[in-house]
Structure 1
């Protein structure tokens, strides 16, 4: 009986593990169509059904097979987003598509001016999403949009959470009460300020102890750059929304900022003089963490320099892009790297750090950055140098080709001379052979004549039988002479072959 309960407990434990794993997985697409194709006839009725509308204002894919496949991939990602958002209880959120070619009228009605972009439309604001079109990244951004733009810091635990936010611009104000907050700021009421949400974090406190820890005076608002310990006090209080908006716009390019999936395109579009200073460092890696601390120190020392803005990229956030970056920039991202990149054509120059073996000091890095800002280090000039090197290589190749041609000509001449010599030698040998043959023939003729004379004498003295014998003898003599001639010719040929071998 006990063993039965043990078996049941084991089976239930496996079931619990399976259920736990399934609950942690990102939901798979269930095949249900939830994304709306918005057009002039239906967009009003569709948007009335939802509290919030997520709209992808996309370029027309046309007849290109590649563009069509890309659009199908994007549409599938949006279907997964719509599926997840359908389970959100607080708001009814819809997802729609607007074709930039076929539905221009709808885009104009909704004030959507930039195609190939995603917009989150609520009752009082429209927020553009400048990140990658990935389901989990977009859903996270939408949840941030739906949160209250202003968070209240009321105790030490919440204060610790505020201090741990390093990667975003944040504003914090100290007010006596909610009423004085609304009177002295327009954090939660202004539509223009809301446009910064959720890229800029807004905080408020009514707790004197928290305000003292932050160094805040009553009705004061402080501005924190990313990775900065000390804030800037926003001048002029009570603040108008216009004043706050202007201050944020004047300071919205931090000295050190992190490229993240949700702000990927926004940051890359915000270059300085067509260039980006980019630092790659894995925060989870020992060398990467050390280099990041150096970057923070440099940023804090140079926060007043409006021309300095370093984009920090953690390769762990973009695993699919790492091989592309390594190939494009010619660097190894297993080590920290910092360089200056042309925003339009990706030409780049990188600081020499010995593959991470020798990280630069704060002073070394500041000296290198000064050379970049002064133009002494410039990707365009480095690209020109590369072009010059290529030209030099081409010239060297041409010279080598010319040398090879000359060598080939010389070799051909030498070969021709050798051939001529061989021909002359062959001709001489042939002449010698002919002379030898002529001499041999003359000798043979003389011998034959002598023999014929002797035979004639014998013919006169002897009878017909003797003549026959003499004829036989003559034949034998001729055969012997022919054999001698053949032997002589063979000997001469052998001698000629030996001579040819020696010449060769």
Structure 2
């Protein structure tokens, strides 16, 4: 889970495997051409059309300090050098238009002055180094003394919504039952809640400092109301940790806590058993894979079958929340409509119905749970058995690919065997033909010999007859 500080490692967006991330980026760039109207319209928000005014700053060594001082929040897109490639130029134009639209929307905020700037990897490398920017094609958000890395899609609506979260306080206070209900309605994110005496409490200060480290990626709540604390079953200075989609929290041991202890606990538990991939965190989640693999569940929450299947997955996750090796990523296809055709083609699945499978992060090899009947969802026990086989490597995309290769080899062997058999048959036929020829020759020779013998016998008979005639003549003379 990224902290609110610059890290000496590539951004999640850039560490995403090239096979998938490159395609995802191209798809979402197409979405940018709608200027956010598709996504925002679905949520009932009235997003304006771009008015053509330039608001995004071109930062460089001469102006970056003065520009960044003017604003409470500065968003910096550290991009690769565009160069002369027409494709790269077109891509950058689309990205810049998305940022211009976001800047236009942010201009109307009353409480915070937020602006956006561009920094070229090639021409402004020295500035990037001074700002601590590590990887190109990444978005960094500078607010007060913190630097927050944005790991979502480069789309105006998603970026603006993320920035709204950034400018909120890192800890939200729960004062009454209505706000407590709102807390319980948050189920897709990791959240923490603590009970403290007051905002001046040193224990609350430690809690708030820890919240700043993870803001806005993790939701932090606190209450100073004994009534609310009783509803949450919280003791004074105690903090509960909630995984996504889990009704029961984990009590963080060792209260009262220091900031360091809270940070350490969260870092040890920041990969939930079940988490949802969303546009603002898609690259962060995809990069955070166990042994290079993700267990992915596709389900449309608004679809009856999808809802039923999701409830089964949630129950499995809740039953196995203590298993550190189990982490399921839920993707609602409705959140990524332009990626659905790509996923269906790449994974060879039909996303009109729920699916769950194992996917290799680097090359997208996958193997999927066999749904025997579209009308019947798997039971919790059936799904748990399948997941157990996955965790024990009895089901593995790599081995499935090897099996396919073996099948190909078997086919080749069969072809070779057929060829050998054909050759043997041909040899046998040739031998038979040779034998027949030899027999014919022998028969011919025998016939010739017999003819010769007959001729000799005839000659001998003729000679004998001649001799007899001569003798008779002699007798007559006498």
For normalisation by structure 2, the TM-score amounts to 0.77
SS at match of 1:222: strand
Matches of 1:75 and 1:187, distance apart in 2: 38
Q: Which residue of 1 aligns with 2:72?
A: 51
1:186 aligns with 2:206: yes
Distance 1:96 1:405, change over 3 A: farther
Report the equivalent of 2:167.
146
Q: CA separation in 2, counterparts of 1:144 and 1:240?
A: 25
Cα-to-partner distance string for 1:127-150 (whole Å, 9 max, x where unaligned): 111000110000000000001111
Residue 244 of structure 1, CA deviation: 0.7
Secondary structure at the residue paired with 2:161? helix
Q: Distance in 2 between matches of 1:232 and 1:319?
A: 35
1:362 aligns with 2:380: yes
On the 8 A contact 1:184/1:238 being kept in 2, the answer is no
Q: Which residue of 1 aligns with 2:138?
A: 117
Q: 1:400 to 1:315 in 2, by over 3 A?
A: farther
SS in 1 for 2:325: coil
The CA distance in 2 between the partners of 1:403 and 1:70, in whole Å, is: 59
Aligned partner of 2:116 among 92, 95, 102: 95
Equivalent residue, structure 1, for 2:266: 248
CA contact (8 A) 2:297 2:331 kept: yes
Higher relative contact order (CA 8 A, sep 6+): 2
In the TM superposition, residue 362 of structure 1 has moved relative to its aligned partner by: 0.9
Q: CA deviation at 1:185?
A: 4.2
What does the per-residue CA deviation read over 1:319-370, in whole Å, with 9 as the maximum and x for residues that have no partner? 0000000000000011110000000000000000136322111111111011
User: Which contiguous aligned blocks of 4+ residues in structure 1 show a shift greater than 6 angstroms?
Assistant: 397-407
CA displacement, residues 294-339 of structure 1 (integer Å, 9 cap, x when unaligned): 1111111111111110000000100000000000000001111000
Q: Which runs of no fewer than 5 residues in structure 2 stay unpaired? A: 1-40, 426-478
| CA deviation vs aligned residue, 1:104-126 (integer Å, no higher than 9, x gap) | 11111111112211111011211
1:239 aligns with 2:257: yes
Indicate how the Cα distance of structure 1 residues 146 and 391 shifts in structure 2: closer, same or farther if over 3 A, else same: same
Q: In the superposition, relative to structure 1, how do residues 399 and 73 fare at CA in structure 2: closer, same or farther (>3 Å)? A: farther
For 1:24 and 1:193, how far apart are their aligned partners in 2?
A: 29
Greater shift in the superposed pair: 241-250 or 64-73: 64-73
CA distances 1:399-453 after superposition (whole Å, capped 9, x unpaired):
789999999xxxxxxxxxxxxxxxxxxxxxxxxxxxxxxxxxxxxxxxxxxxxxx
CA RMSD of aligned residues (A): 2.3
What secondary structure is seen at the aligned counterpart in 2 of 1:73? helix
1:316 corresponds in structure 2 to 334
CA shift for structure 1 position 397: 6.4
Residues of 1 paired with 2:130 and 2:257: CA distance?
Answer: 33
Displacement of 1:261:
0.3
1:75 aligned residue: 96
Q: Quick check: 1:185–1:240 contact (8 Å CA) kept in 2? A: no
Do the aligned partners of residues 393 and 215 (structure 1) sit closer, same or farther apart at CA in structure 2, a change above 3 Å counting? same
Distance 1:145 1:241 in 2: 20
How far apart, in 1, do the equivalents of 2:355 and 2:162 lie?
29
| Counterpart for residue 284 of structure 2 | 266
For 1:175-228, what per-residue CA distance to the aligned partner results, in whole angstroms no more than 9, with x for missing partners?
A: 122222x4444233x2x6413111100101111121111110111011100011
**Deviation of the 1:394 alpha carbon:** 4.9
CA contact (8 A) 1:184 1:239 kept: no
CA pair 53-286 structure 1, distance change in 2 beyond 3 A: same
Change in 2 beyond 3 A, CA 1:65/1:174: same
Q: What is the match of residue 440 of structure 2?
A: none
The answer for the alignment partner of 2:455 in structure 1 is none
Q: CA deviation at 1:89?
A: 1.1
Q: 1:251 to 1:304 in 2, by over 3 A?
A: same
CA distance in structure 1 between the partners assigned to 2:252 and 2:218 by the alignment? 15
The offset of 1:41, in angstroms, is 1.2
Cα deviation code 1:444-503 (max 9, x no counterpart): xxxxxxxxxxxxxxxxxxxxxxxxxxxxxxxxxxxxxxxxxxxxxxxxxxxxxxxxxxxx
Q: Which has the higher helix share?
A: 1
Is the contact between residue 198 and residue 204 of structure 2 (CA under 8 Å) also seen in structure 1? Answer: no
Instruction: Say which SS state the counterpart of residue 131 (structure 1) adopts.
Output: coil
Distance in 1, matches of 2:85 and 2:366, equals 32
Task: Report the Cα offset of residue 373 of structure 1.
Answer: 0.5
Q: In the TM superposition, what whole-angstrom CA distance separates every residue of 1:19-77 from its partner, at most 9, and x where no partner exists?
A: x9xx9531111111111111111111111111110111112223332222211111110
Q: Any conservation in 2 of the 1:341–1:348 contact (CA below 8 Å)?
A: yes
**SS class of match (2:194):** strand
Match of 2:357 among 336, 339, 355: 339
C-alpha change, 1:358 and 1:65, in structure 2 (3 Å) is same
1:28: which partner in 2? Answer: 49
Is 1:164 paired with 2:191? no
Describe how 1:406-485 pairs up with structure 2 within 5 A: none
Tell me: CA distance 1:37–1:401, structure 2 relative to 1, closer, same or farther (3 Å).
farther
Q: How many residues align?
A: 385
Unmatched tracts of structure 1, length 5 or more: 1-19, 408-504
Cα 1:75–1:367 shift into 2, 3 Å? same
**Do structure 1's residue 64 and structure 2's residue 91 form an aligned pair?**
no
